[in-house]
Amino acid sequence: MPGLSARSLAGVWHPCTQMGLLDDAPLLALARGEGPWLFDIDGRRYLDAISSWWVNLFGHANARISAAVADQLGRLEHVLLAGCTHEPVVELSERLSALTGGTLGHCFYASDGASAVEIALKMSVHWWRNHGMAERNEFVCVAGGYHGETTGALAVTDVPLFREAYAPMLRSAHRVMSPDARQAGSGETASGVAARAATQIAQLLETRGDRIAALILEPLVQCAGGMAMHDASYLAEVRRLCTLHGVHLIADEIAVGFGRTGSFFACEQAGIWPDFLCLSKGLSGGYLPLSVVLSRDEIYQGFLDTRIERGFLHSHSFTGNPLACRAALASLDIFEEDRVIEANHARAAVIADALTPLRADPRIAHLRQRGMIAAFDVTIDDPALRAGFSRRMHMAAREHSVLLRPIGTTVYLMPPYVLEPDELRWLVRQTMTALDQTLATTRSAAPEASAMVQPGPHQMP
Ligand SMILES: *Cc1c(COP(=O)(O)O)cnc(C)c1O
């Protein structure tokens, strides 16, 4: 019998991977997980420093979440959510709404992030149509933004490589500049860049506002675009402009929600709420596929009618799956019982402290952090060497027992919320050792192609 990796290559089409380039970057064949650790089939362990594509909050095989899912398995594994309901989906909706202070009152479920984005876009356009303004059907998105890879979500995603082949299938959207603080000119602050970016939106809405249904953005951190961080004042100003021009604001907190940036929701740091809030990834603690769009009552009311065609027309077979909802409820329990947001402030401070030496490292630029996301850019002048960096760094980190996936030359840490201070310091040390090793070999190595598709969250060697 061939090994697991060979069988995988023979039968599994791995996502966002050039399968033709996998020879020199073997798959990591995993047998089990325990807390922040993943164990491969040979018993070697790796610290999951990227929370398995940013979904895992409380470690693998978490006893509390597993118990809740197991309990639900013995009761009701699944039922359709059209004309039926169940305790887990009702309780989850009540608790999510409560976390927005009741501002966003209704929850519409799906199974993945991209579907949540599709739902928010469709809801916005349909809402305007129900209000006699079918001409309001254009979208505004932000440069460097990522909202998923189904065609509607891809149309508001700004990752040229992901879009190119599918361009004929995509509807065009207005794209405004990113508020990425790294663009600051000399003497310019992060809030200066934010103001500059917001001015562009003001101009667009001024001239085109009456044709625009919604603006979609990732609050505080554009993750897949390379962990680009911006000042919270941007969100407050965009909220003001959307309200002024009657444009819906869609906050995609699929990656940044659930405590990632230091507050439960990223929008809280700007003191705003969107009209639609998209959540997934950490929603189920990373256990099961689940996503949701929360909307304001005004949106919900806009679909209430006796005419079928004025209702929101969208459904997925596994909408509101009870197992996934129970995992999400268990995850919310952990947030409360363990005072996770507070505990993460201490964890974030340990990460910041451990990374401090990098500020003086000439190989590194833009060391940045927002809560439990820390990132820095590695300076490599030769474009050919830059192309292979991500895969080499990934492999070097693996040698040092850490699972990392740099985005281009941006190295980031996005660990689950279970690491002790010693483990966090160990993680930073291993990352630095892997970086030293990668740069030592990068300098002497020949240029090469990489199976890691760049950029995006979904590249895999
Ligand atoms: C991951 C991600 C998505 C897409 O979610 P999937 O579950 O991968 O479809 C959308 N938006 C953001 C901000 C993301 O990080």
- pLDDT score of 459: 41
**Residue ranges of domains in the chain, CATH in brackets:** 4-61+340-449 (3.90.1150.10), 65-337 (3.40.640.10)
**Which residue has a Cα nearest atom 10 of ligand 1?**
147
Q: Which atom of ligand 1 is nearest to the CA of 252?
A: 13
- pLDDT score of 387: 86
- pLDDT score of 450: 54
Q: Which atom of ligand 1 is nearest to the CA of 115?
A: 9
Q: Is the CB of 114 within 6 Å of ligand 1?
A: yes
Tokens 């697991």, located at residue = 4
Ligand 1 centroid vs 413 CA: distance in angstroms?
18
Q: Is the CB of 158 within 6 Å of ligand 1?
A: no
The pTM score is 0.96
Ligand 1 centroid vs 409 CA: distance in angstroms?
21
Tokens of 164: 């190119």
- pLDDT score of 22: 75
Q: Which atom of ligand 1 is nearest to the CA of 149?
A: 9
- pLDDT score of 126: 98
Instruction: Give the torsion sign (CA, 307, 309, 314, 315).
Output: positive
> How many Cα atoms occupy the beta-carbon half-sphere of 137 within 13 Å?
11
Q: Is the CB of 282 within 6 Å of ligand 1?
A: no
Amino acid at 92: L
- pLDDT score of 443: 54
Ligand 1 centroid vs 51 CA: distance in angstroms?
14
Q: Is the CB of 252 within 6 Å of ligand 1?
A: yes
Q: Give the mean pLDDT per block of 10 residues along the chain (461 residues).
A: 90 88 81 98 98 98 98 98 98 98 97 98 98 98 98 96 94 98 97 98 98 98 98 98 98 98 98 98 98 98 96 96 98 98 98 97 97 97 89 96 97 98 98 96 54 47 32
- pLDDT score of 460: 34
C-alpha closest to that of 326 among 61, 77, 69, 66 = 69
- pLDDT score of 458: 45
- pLDDT score of 243: 98
